[in-house]
Amino acid sequence: MVMPLFFIASDLKSAQHYQQILLERGVDINLCEVEQLNARFFRQHPELALCADEQGLWLCANGMKMQPDWKAEVPRLKRASLKSEMIARACQLGEAPQLIDATAGLGHDSLLMAHLGAHVTLLERHPILFTLLEDAHNQAKQDPFLSKIVERIQLIFSDSSDYLQACIQHHQQVNVIYLDPMFPQRDQHQNTIKKQAQVKKQMQLLHLLLPEHGEMDLGDSLLPLAQQVAQRVIVKRPRHAVFLNQQTPDHQWLGDACRFDAYFQLSM
């Protein structure tokens, strides 16, 4: 994978730092020094790329740029409570569980779960997304509100299938595994592609980055592995989506746009 990384002269050191890290994770970076990184520049360079500035590493495409902005989540975190959040009931966050989030993405769900008490191991296999997450995690350590929360988040660069298989081999168990794989927005009954009225900018860029080899990995194979490692597996799905791995859940929590499907292991 070769990816352009745009930067202005004063951010050369930071750009080289990301180049080195990404190289170690298998991504070739083509460093491109530019005069300015402004809205006009991004409109004129719509191809998928990275950029580095004083706020860290960004993914950019189609005139937009994004990073997993954990600081922007602070107002939402401050409003959240164990009572008000469906995810808290689904994952029993009040019991401060050991939890693996096996599909990290931007880490927003994990940030909320850690805020509400979980000890989270966050797994992400995509090298660029992992590097963006690591940057968000490092920046959060400097923030007075977030620093306490991110003490409870550990990031691991790994394919979750490999990680969960290793857990099975070593008889390692956790309380909860949380899965939120990508979903191609198919209607559950008619199997047609639905128009997304309001896909957030971050998710649009995520979708551009992730289906690298054509077919999107829908994560079906993660469910049976997760069930061998946790007493409780929670799967986040769009409200009308088909069940992960076509497995009927033991319980569901339904929201307006999404739902949580729960799979319980009684015999662990």
Ligand X SMILES: C[S@@+](CC[C@H](N)C(=O)[O-])C[C@H]1O[C@@H](n2cnc3c(N)ncnc32)[C@H](O)[C@@H]1O
Residue number closest to ligand X, CB atom? 105
* Residues forming the site for ligand X (CB under 6 A): 103-109, 123-126, 129, 159-161, 180-182, 210, 217, 219, 222
* 87-103 burial: b if 16+ Cβ within 10 Å, else e: bbbbbbbeeebebbbbb
- Report the residue number, 97 or 219, with the smaller CB distance to ligand X: 219
**Closest distance of CB 240 from ligand X, Å:** 16
**Closest distance of CB 63 from ligand X, Å:** 22
- Report the residue number, 29 or 179, with the smaller CB distance to ligand X: 179
Side-chain half-sphere exposure of 109, counting CA atoms within 13 A: 26
- Report the residue number, 43 or 76, with the smaller CB distance to ligand X: 76
- Report the residue number, 27 or 222, with the smaller CB distance to ligand X: 222
CB of 13 closer than 8 Å to CB of 118:
no
Got the DSSP string for 199-254?
A: --HHHHHHHHHS-TTSSPP--TTHHHHHHTTEEEEEEEEETTPPPGGGPPPSEEEE
**Closest distance of CB 179 from ligand X, Å:** 8
In angstroms, the CA 77 to CA 87 distance is 13
**Closest distance of CB 103 from ligand X, Å:** 3
